Structure 1
């Protein structure tokens, strides 16, 4: 019989709707029930594409005896971390502080007042490899709650106080810090270089996550300063990732991370946010260098997004699962869809083409049973043979059972995809990608944006979820709308971005310090208000908001928005010199601030080839954070275009900083030189 999760919109919660555990969704009703019964709360947090979440579900949450014990002694609450990143962030901070590590599934025991007192991640059903069994953990927590309640309360109170103290680091009492300047950015580059893996690309050791935001910063720093070291780190990292097993050599798109330092063995989840960010990263690498493989990687990743993650409503699904049924055994196995043996290559291609394939792709036998993902050995000398082999392998793989898809739409991640697809479509002359970006944006407007201008975080099948948008939803959606305006010249997108950013200023910003919070001032109250300026797998909401605020100010001349961006960047100077890998997007926004950013106004009749040429030239600029406005001469809709006449009757481009412009030019080559 289904439990209380049966009506959820989250695919992750629905995966647990038939568990014998009597799960509750997060909400006041669950904590009121714990208070009524006098029992603690068992909080389990995960997401639909999480391999170890599936393992713990099969081993423990589907076990009748374990479920019966949990139901008797706890109120069990299940949370999708992608729906409620605020809940996840608060308790993950506690887990990491207490255990020195974190991950999913996250298992936390709470008082009915939401205070945590015991923590963990995955627990096996029986003791294993030094870990206690989950039944042991449940029994131990029950005994502590029953026999040492006062001690449990003291621990919970101390943890809550520590979390609230941590919040003051970036909060209202921190003061206003200056935005980083040349010295801080140079020091950040030197610090980043110390952790650069010169042999394998990337930063640090295993596991290696794709450093999208860091690479974007490096490309901007190179564009502004000419730093060869910055470009080399960016290019070598992108080259290594696109050759390795992290990248799907047949279908495009990237896995979530590499478990090794060589980018060989991926953790097979494919996340929308990674692929949206990496699509933009490879596009910008191509824009900076003309690298052909970066261009191909960008296009293949864009095609992956449209083919495998686009929903019927026009949005983009959150993820593809790590696991899929093994073609032989039928049992779920991580990476079964993507791995090959030499024998499977021969069966799909025949002996002759299989021999050619092993000269193009490395098949190492890295995994169990001698299978492995494909890695690109060398750029193909014969593109026709490469494409023929690649297409046949892709078609053969398509006959395997495919990974499941988490088809909920997350506003923030769709904002990232909108920005990436709009730019890629414009720069690589793929109007279908721009159209896909517009459709996704239309879905956010129709389903996620409420009548009072607030965002809802998720939807599924065109039906909005109940959870309020967090800072990253507003910031990344605004970023997507700004990119759509730059590409299409439709002023509605700029206006919509401005509305979202006004909400950021009104509800997410501390007026005294300019610090930003991850949740709105009228959001559900947790044990502390989450706030983190550092990047994780995506740009932090804080620095994403700073970038969108700065871009909007460049279009409109709004000192209010520019000042807010500058104040938000103060934390980047403090953190960037010590840990640049973890605040890459903030450093990228700081590069834009130091460069102006450049403001390009292109005026001319719509449909005029000369207008189109100037517009495309402006979009191809590598100037950090440059904004591009295009429209008819005399347009009043966008302040940057106002009072910009044609040049002797011809379409013209104006390059400005702070609305102070150079002389206009009608020559695309001259415009390119000015923006170079």
Structure 2
């Protein structure tokens, strides 16, 4: 059989001339992007699996997501090609999965890809037996042989021949690989106690991998590592060592000045393709911006540096202005590509800058933001700051404030021009887990930055999740799009949202949020907890049965599910006085102790939780008086310093007694003289109550 040369225009029929496939009824933007492919795609589900078993054909599973550049490339090269599609349709049952909708499926088969190839990524390409066991794995395949890789048609034909001629061998190897995947969910044994030496060890490891020139950890491609930066901030707070803070500051400074940060609008791209944060992979993910907002907020608390507050504010403003829906729901991603080119929306030529700003302003702006005739990236320019604005002012002989004001006006004009370009695609599906992360950052940002807009946004997002993304039985759903909430919630949906709701209560005093956090905690424990071996499964008892039921212990781009469980339970235990929650949170850390010892750089969020567990929480009970402005200022004073071990129980005076049943911290704590009154307790001892803003500031000092 001769292999077709995929990708030529003569072999790719116009999408407008094709009937849609089964993906046309889905809500995922990623799946809908493939709805006019000539491939006979199925969504993940029993219809595809029943057909595979009936026809005894292997399944080709393709996993990706809407903002994935190479997913788009493989679609155009292979899945839109009529000859390649015919080969797929003849010999395979083809299943397309959005990894953001089905992280459980992605997690299992990514483990297979990594076990078989020692690397992973998207698009993920996995061949399965009809009973869903993987036997051949890869990621992107080119349309023809080249660069040391087989072309996708050759892969398809080879797998088909192997299935026809060596099926028994395939079934044996598929069973072996599935057994390996199931073993990955087992917890390795650990000895010793949970002690601060684990935090010290992690900080030393991060220091060893720190890039002293460009900031961050390791070399290209370079990812932000927000959880690890939080570990270092806590190490500095706990030990007063200077070096952990220096690592954080250097990294945050370099990222904020780099091309990974959108210098016109705010918000961070996924990662940098180089070691100096210049050339990002341009997709913007909600979770990155949630986690990095939180890190910059904490760095501002530690240092008082206004630049960190600015970056956090601009990032959260980007989310509010460009990524928030009409009911307060927060969208998932923006693509890297526009008009078929990665980064086209974001880059500039010197001629464009001259035309928009005029020669005089363009010359100064170009000098500050690294815009040249030849370009700094593929003959175009990614805006970045090789030096800080104060350094640029010195070099240009300008007053720093005046220069900054001029640059702000320049940026606004360029942003206005950029907004007239064809924008990248936006994935408007709503994911509970990612919204939970963002709601936590917005809630605390409202107090740290003294901006009620963020509290309003967090309130609306929380209400949307609770009202639109729960079943009648009180279980969470994972994804929402086009008026439909779908898919059982996963562990990180519960743990992230519980943590976000807890923090939203702590800044607002609204009882609904803490009550919902406790309700969801009960469901989470019932659905996910492994009472025999410890820790929490990624999927609940009510979930469909897959080939493995795994546990999510190590951080990736987002905190692991078990790390966020420990974070949420320890915080709730301290806030509510429920020792059972604290005990379960600690046992979750004990379940991952071996990883804390052996692989601390994959355990940032668990180490954050451990730091909280080993400290004595400082408890603030805040009873509002009659003046709402005074209550707000008191809360802002409590959130001004970096106090990573605090819990806050606020209440309006008339609600304090009712809330005291849930939060014993509020019991018998009246507001004095109808003024906002704060009771501060630490190490099982409560100090005399303080009244108003100055009383809190004095107590914290």
Structure 2 length-normalised TM = 0.92
1:161-172, aligned counterparts within 5 Å?
Answer: 161-169=179-187
Q: CA deviation at 1:554?
A: 1.6
Secondary structure of the 1:464 match is strand
- Select the residue among 662, 665, 669 that pairs with 2:687: 662
- Select the residue among 564, 582, 596 that pairs with 1:544: 564
Q: CA deviation at 1:668?
A: 4.3
Secondary structure of the 1:555 match is helix
Q: Which residue of 1 aligns with 2:23?
A: 5
1:125-524, aligned counterparts within 5 Å?
Answer: 125-169=143-187, 174=189, 180-325=194-339, 332-363=340-371, 365-375=375-385, 377-379=387-389, 381=400, 382-465=403-486, 467-524=487-544
8 Å contact from structure 2 (residues 625, 671) kept in 1 = no
RMSD: 1.8
1:69-88, aligned counterparts within 5 Å?
Answer: 69-88=87-106
Q: Does 1:41 align with 2:59?
A: yes
Q: CA deviation at 1:128?
A: 1.4
Give the distance between the partners of 2:436 and 2:541, measured in 1 at CA.
Answer: 22
Q: Does 1:592 align with 2:594?
A: no
Greater mean deviation of Cα atoms: 526-535 or 134-143: 526-535
Q: How many residues align?
A: 665
Q: Flag the 1:400–1:611 CA change in 2: closer, same or farther, 3 A.
A: closer
Q: Which residue of 1 aligns with 2:657?
A: 635
Q: CA deviation at 1:667?
A: 6.1
Q: Flag the 1:110–1:660 CA change in 2: closer, same or farther, 3 A.
A: farther
Q: CA deviation at 1:155?
A: 0.7
Unaligned runs of 5+ in 1: 326-331
Give the distance between the partners of 2:452 and 2:577, measured in 1 at CA.
Answer: 30
Q: Which residue of 1 aligns with 2:130?
A: 112
8 Å contact from structure 1 (residues 179, 572) kept in 2 = no
Give the distance between the partners of 1:134 and 1:455, measured in 2 at CA.
Answer: 39
Structure 1 stretches of 4+ moved >4 Å: 647-650, 657-660, 667-670, 672-676
Q: Which residue of 1 aligns with 2:81?
A: 63
Q: CA deviation at 1:306?
A: 1.1
Q: Which residue of 2 aligns with 1:29?
A: 47
8 Å contact from structure 2 (residues 293, 441) kept in 1 = yes
8 Å contact from structure 1 (residues 282, 298) kept in 2 = yes
Higher relative contact order (CA 8 A, sep 6+): 1
8 Å contact from structure 1 (residues 597, 626) kept in 2 = yes
Give the distance between the partners of 1:313 and 1:114, measured in 2 at CA.
Answer: 39
Secondary structure of the 1:338 match is coil
Q: CA deviation at 1:27?
A: 0.9
Q: Deviations over 1:128-170 (max 9, x none)?
A: 1001000000000000000000110111011011112222235
Structure 1 length-normalised TM = 0.95
Give the distance between the partners of 1:179 and 1:494, measured in 2 at CA.
Answer: 31
Q: CA deviation at 1:109?
A: 0.2
Q: CA deviation at 1:643?
A: 1.9
Unaligned runs of 5+ in 2: 1-18, 391-399
Q: CA deviation at 1:660?
A: 4.5
Secondary structure of the 2:658 match is coil
8 Å contact from structure 2 (residues 625, 674) kept in 1 = no
Q: CA deviation at 1:500?
A: 1.2
Q: CA deviation at 1:555?
A: 1.7
Q: CA deviation at 1:358?
A: 1.7
Greater mean deviation of Cα atoms: 142-151 or 620-629: 620-629
Q: Deviations over 1:295-333 (max 9, x none)?
A: 1101110111011111223211110001001xxxxxx10
Q: Flag the 1:503–1:660 CA change in 2: closer, same or farther, 3 A.
A: farther
Q: CA deviation at 1:647?
A: 4.9
8 Å contact from structure 1 (residues 313, 462) kept in 2 = no
